Each structure stands twice: as C-alpha cells, then as structure tokens.
Structure 1
Amino acid sequence: MNAIGPAGFWSYTHRDDQLDGGRIRRLAEAIAHAFEITTGDELHVFVDNTSIAWGEQWRARLDSALTSTTFLIPIITPKFLNSQECRREIITFSSHAASLGLDDLILPIHYVNVPQLTEENSGDEVIQLISRRQWVDWRQLRLEDEDSPGYRQAVNQLALRLKGILETPPAGGPIVVPSGEAEADLPGFLDSLAEMEVALPEWAETVQEFGEVLESLNRKTLESAALMQQSDARGGGFAGRLRVTNELATDLDEPVRKITELGGRYSSELSRIDPGIITMIRMIGEGEVTQEEEQSARETFTQLMVMIVAAREAVPNLMGLSEAAKVMASGSRALRPLMNSIQAAVQQVVDGQTIIEEWGRMIDELGESDAGN
C-alpha cells in the first residue's frame, strides 16, 4: 500500500487481540470507516507490525514531513506495557513527533485497566508519554456489543477527534535556522549542537556510573550467595537463609538507590537532547544548514555513534540483572521492593536504548544517502 494521505498505525499486542476475539483489529477498521464517511478521505490503516508493508510505511512516515498526517494509536493493556516492541513503537514515534512540534498525534486508547496510568509520578517512560496525552477510555466500551449505539457513537467521536487534529495547525514546530544569521539569532541548530556538547560527557559519565553500580550489586549478591552456602553447611536451614537475605537487603539499599537515581538521570538526559538530534539529522539530510554547521554536526555524530555502540554492549548485562532481580523478588519479601526498583531502572535504560538506536539508524542512513550522491 502506497499511503500518501492520513495514516493510522495501530500499536498493540497480537495476543491481546486474540484474547479479545479480534476486536482490536475490528476497532481499527471501524475507526477508519468512520473517518472516511465523516471526512470523505481515506485513513490508511496499518495494523500488522510484522509485515513488510507496515515497516516500510512506518520508516517512510517517520523520516518525512508526512508525520504531520500520521497517527499512532496505541491500545494500552498490561501486555502492551510488557511488550518491548510496543514500547519501542510509542517511544520512537513520540521522539519524531516532538522534533516536529506535533505532540497530539499519539492517541492512546486505554483498553484494559492499567493502574499505573492513573498514578502520579510514575518513573516509567512509556506511562509518562501516555499520561501526558488525553487518552480515550475504552475499558467499559470494549465489553459492549460492537453494533450497540454507545459503541458506534464512541467510534465516531474518535474519528471526529482525528479529523479535528488534522484540521488544527500545530502550535509549534521544528526551528528551521536560516544560514548566515548571527549566532545569537540561531536558537535551533547551534543551540542543539551546544546542548549535545554539554550532554554527551554527562551521558558518558552516567553510563560509567551504571557500570560501577552494577559491579557493586553483583559483588554483594555473590558475597550473599557464599554466606548462604556457609549457612547451609552449618545446618542453618531456612532461618539461616532468611537472615542472609535480610542482611543482603540492607547491603543493597544504597546501590539500589543509586541505580534508581541513574535510571532517572539517563532517561532525562536523553529526553532533553532527543528532539534536537533528530531535527539536526533531518536538517542535514534536507540541505538546510551551512557546510560549517554540517561539519560540526558530523563530528559530533561520530562521538555519538561510539557512545551508541558502548550503550548497546551494556544492555545485555543490564537485562541479565533485571532477570536476576525478577527471580530474587519472587523468592523474598525483604528483597522485593529493591528488586522491583532495579527492574524499573533497567527498563529506563532499555527504553533509552530505543531512542539512541533510532539516532544511529538515521545517522547511518544519512551516510548511505551521501555515498549514493
């Protein structure tokens, strides 16, 4: 499908659709039909994120100004939040939309109750992205008959909402910097370079600190395992194991506090520079900067790619830590809050990896484009 008009990408888990008898895919079709009968224009619907057509259109839309006519409609359920692919889709789309000043193009549908969505101060990046938007409550509607007046009216209201967003000019947009102006008048490209100049060393420091805390956690955990073996050898039984576990919980309190702090800092640093980096790459690709500005940006991109590779190599170790934390949380009430904090911090890094891998993809494609010219 070569979609050039409005398009909607449905982000959901296929298992949720199966469990609900295919209603999620039918909802996508119903909204597209309501949009077309309301506006007279076709809304191209992409629902199968495993297909080649979905992937091709996804990349084409992200990399062009057509993003302003593209919607992401995530179907929020507990499984959605547990799906790394769904998390990747919403984070990536949000990054590109923010770089274009188009924040209303994500339209979450709260399909099955997710308690975190109504809680304040969630440390989950995806929860924050959803809660900052006016999500549609479908938790009761999904139980209604699809032909009922209430259900059909809700579908129509969502189609009208899509129509309204398309007809409303964005409040802001990416700052396009005219070449040759004084530096004080360049709030876009040069400010982004300056921001990266400050942020990259801070980011590198955070990654290094993660490694140090991870080493401390592993060391304390191994020491605890050795103490538990000694306790077993002395016939300490479950009481001995419980004593060792409680001591471990006390020992881990400080490194877990630190890793929680680092997770928040890591996420914050990436979110701060993400729109600027995407805008810079896009402006270079479209030839909207001077040769000197482009050279400076490409030197920064070289440093950035080194850090992307380093972060990529660190992720498997962090994922291993998260899995170990999950096992330990299931076996000890004393350790459970600490292990949950570790998993949350690791998730922040994994979500951040989605952002930086997208930078890497765009920088790589920028290089391929240059080679083809």
Structure 2
Amino acid sequence: MPAANIFLSYRHADNDHLNGGIVQLLKDIQSEFEYKNAKTVRLFIDSESLNWGDDWQNALDQAVGMSNIIIPAVTPRYLQSAACRKELLDFYNHIGNDPNKKILPLIIQNIDGVSGLSQDDPVWKIVHASQHLVVRDLRLLSPTEREKEVIRITDRLTRVIKTMDETTASAQQDTQKNDDKSDGGEEGILDQILKMKQSGTDLNIALEKYGQGLNTVAEIVNRHPIPESRTMEEHSRWAQELSEELKPALKTVDDASAQISNNWEVIYAALQVWVTGIKEISSSAERNDQIDLIAQMLQGWHNSFQMSESIRVLPAQFTLISAFYPSLRPLARTLKSSIEMIGNMDKMTVSLQHRVESLR
C-alpha cells in the first residue's frame, strides 16, 4: 500500500517551457522519498497516467477524488487556467475537514501582483493558506543545487505524510472510544448551522451591495458610449471622465467583494464540516433529512451567485476598452477579479452539491 496518493496539478505550457522540468521534479521527489523511507508513493500525472481513449475529464475527476495529497505547481499561468483552478477547487471541496488530505503548493514562479487576480480570490487563498514551498528557478540551478532542492521538498513531504499517519491513528482511537454514542455527529451539525447563520446574513447583505455596485457600473458605461470623434484629446477626456465617475461604484464593488470573500470563507468551512458530519449519521431517514436541508441551502447560494448576461460581459468590455485607454485598466482589473471570484464561489458550491448528492 502506498504511503500517499499524490496528484500533480500543473499547467502544461509551464512544464513545456521548463523542458519537462515540473514533471521531472516530482518524479525525482517520488524517487527520493522511496529511497529515504523504503515506502512507495503513487504519483498521478495526467500526461502519463491516462490512456488513449479514456474519458479525460472523468478520469481526472476520479484521480482527484482518490488522491490524498495534491501538489499544485503554481505559476501566474496556473492561477489563470480554468482547468488548473478546477482541479485545485475540486480537491479543496473533497477535503472537507479531513486531516488525512493535504494541499502542498509548490510556488514555481513568483505570483505576486498577477494581473486580474485579487488576494480575495479563492484559489489565491487556498495556495497561501496551505503549507506552500517556494521553489528556486529550475532553469538556474546547477545539478547539485537541484538535488538539494529535491531533498528539501522531499523532507517536507515526509514530515507531512508522517503527521497525516499520526492524525489518522489518533482519530481511529477516538472513534473506537466513541462507538457507543449514537448521536455523536448531531451537536457538530447544529454548531455549523449556527455558525453559518450570522455569516449567511452578512453575505446576503454584501451580495446585495455588490449587485447594486455592478448595476451602477453598467448604467454608467451605457450612459457614456465611446465618442465618435477621432481626436485623441476628446477620447482621452472621455476615458478620464468615465474613470472618475466609475470610481465610487467600483469602490462599492471592491468593498463588497472583500466582505463576500470573508463571510464565504466561514460559511464554506462550516458547510464542509456539516457534509462530513452527515456521513457519520447512522439513521438513513435522519441522514436524508440533513441532506435535503443542506441541498436546499446550497441551491440558495448557487442562485445568489448567478449574474445577468449584461454583468457577465462587463469584464470583456472593459478589457477591450482599457487596451486603448490606459486610465481604465485598474478599473478593468478590479471588475474582472471580483466577477471571477463570484464565479469560483459558484463552482465550489456546485462541486459541494455533487458531493452531498453522492451521500444519498
């Protein structure tokens, strides 16, 4: 039995740019771990673990679900990749409060100041909340320096797996002690519902402010079409005036985004604990009641995260306009970042919905 099942999440273009360096780094870590510990680790690499004709997406989803460690090779392009973000968010959703599943990000390239990505972004938060390691530039390392880097990362991986094993053993002992308690999970579920109540109220208020801010942005943009005049002076004046008029509305959007992110973090953590607690309920009738209750709540969040078509196209409109009018670029980045954040929260909700339905 392997000591761990590791899923490598990476952007193929980054691996190609580094001449296969990301995949080779993980293979060397796998080999070093087995050399030091006399134990195997199973490493899932999509380009090598999938066979011709496999259902690619389904196979990836299954691999994410079966793994107990995911190692995202984080770069600016990774953070902007829809597929990479999905892998990381799916694993995060799969974790719940399970101490035997870990995210171990490797920062392959500096991600500070990535355009269009705020620190309220869920993927950004996951990367920085985890025990991430900054990897020195693989292109600039001598063979000896690279070997030291492999050893450093392997030592960290060894400690993490050892801690996971100890936590699992301790949890099994606790479970054995509490086997005679038939209602052990009920109190935990009630705690999570109470925890979500206030954060849920605050989240709804923030979402309302956020929607009002976005609608104001859309109204202002519609009131100020691009001038037909070809003079640079008039176009520059138009961009500056539009920028100034948009600032209050975008500040509302920005402030509401931060509130949404903070409250969603509390709610989502509670939801994960709740889902895990449902699995421990022995009575099928009671379990189904809890599933129905959380499913209804998740559907409500899913509905809250939906946006009209006129709002969804705003980032694309602003990106196009800001290419010609530099004064609008900061506003375009704020808008794109906040709308993507809501979209990611919706993906997290949908993923959790699927997890809940699988408990029936």
Query: 2:70–2:103: 8 Å Cα contact kept in structure 1?
Result: yes
- For 2:191, the equivalent position in structure 1 comes to 191
- For 1:72, the equivalent position in structure 2 comes to 70
Pairs aligned (count): 340
> Secondary structure, in 3 states, of the residue corresponding to 1:35?
helix
Please tell me the residue identity of whatever aligns with 2:46. Answer: D
Shift of 1:247: 1.2
Aligned in 2, Cα 1:109/1:300: closer, same or farther, shift over 3 Å? closer
Correspondence list, 1:70-219, <5 A: 70-97=68-95, 99-101=97-99, 105-116=102-113, 122-144=119-141, 148-168=143-163, 169-170=166-167, 179-180=182-183, 186=187, 188-219=188-219
Aligned in 2, Cα 1:277/1:132: closer, same or farther, shift over 3 Å? closer
> Secondary structure, in 3 states, of the residue corresponding to 2:326?
coil
Shift of 1:97: 3.7
Aligned-pair RMSD on alpha carbons?
Answer: 3.2
Aligned in 2, Cα 1:43/1:153: closer, same or farther, shift over 3 Å? same
Correspondence list, 1:256-271, <5 A: 256-271=250-265
Structure 2 unmatched runs, 5+: 48-55
Distance 1:317 1:163 in 2: 50
Aligned in 2, Cα 1:161/1:111: closer, same or farther, shift over 3 Å? same
TM-score by length of 1: 0.79
Aligned in 2, Cα 1:94/1:43: closer, same or farther, shift over 3 Å? same
Aligned in 2, Cα 1:202/1:332: closer, same or farther, shift over 3 Å? same
Identity of aligned residues (%): 19
> Secondary structure, in 3 states, of the residue corresponding to 1:99?
coil
Shift of 1:127: 2.9
TM-score by length of 2: 0.82
Structure 1 unmatched runs, 5+: 62-69
Please tell me the residue identity of whatever aligns with 1:280. Answer: W
- For 2:233, the equivalent position in structure 1 comes to 239
Aligned in 2, Cα 1:263/1:131: closer, same or farther, shift over 3 Å? same
> Secondary structure, in 3 states, of the residue corresponding to 1:41?
coil
Please tell me the residue identity of whatever aligns with 1:222. Answer: N
Aligned in 2, Cα 1:288/1:203: closer, same or farther, shift over 3 Å? farther
> Secondary structure, in 3 states, of the residue corresponding to 1:334?
helix
Deviations 1:92-132 (A, max 9, x none): 433544622468x2222221232349xxx934433333233
Distance 1:247 1:25 in 2: 50
Query: 2:18–2:138: 8 Å Cα contact kept in structure 1?
Result: no
Pairing partner for 1:282 from 263, 276, 279: 276
> Secondary structure, in 3 states, of the residue corresponding to 1:225?
coil
Query: 2:107–2:133: 8 Å Cα contact kept in structure 1?
Result: yes
Aligned in 2, Cα 1:244/1:102: closer, same or farther, shift over 3 Å? farther
Shift of 1:180: 4.6
Distance 1:114 1:334 in 2: 24
> Secondary structure, in 3 states, of the residue corresponding to 2:224?
helix
- For 2:318, the equivalent position in structure 1 comes to 325
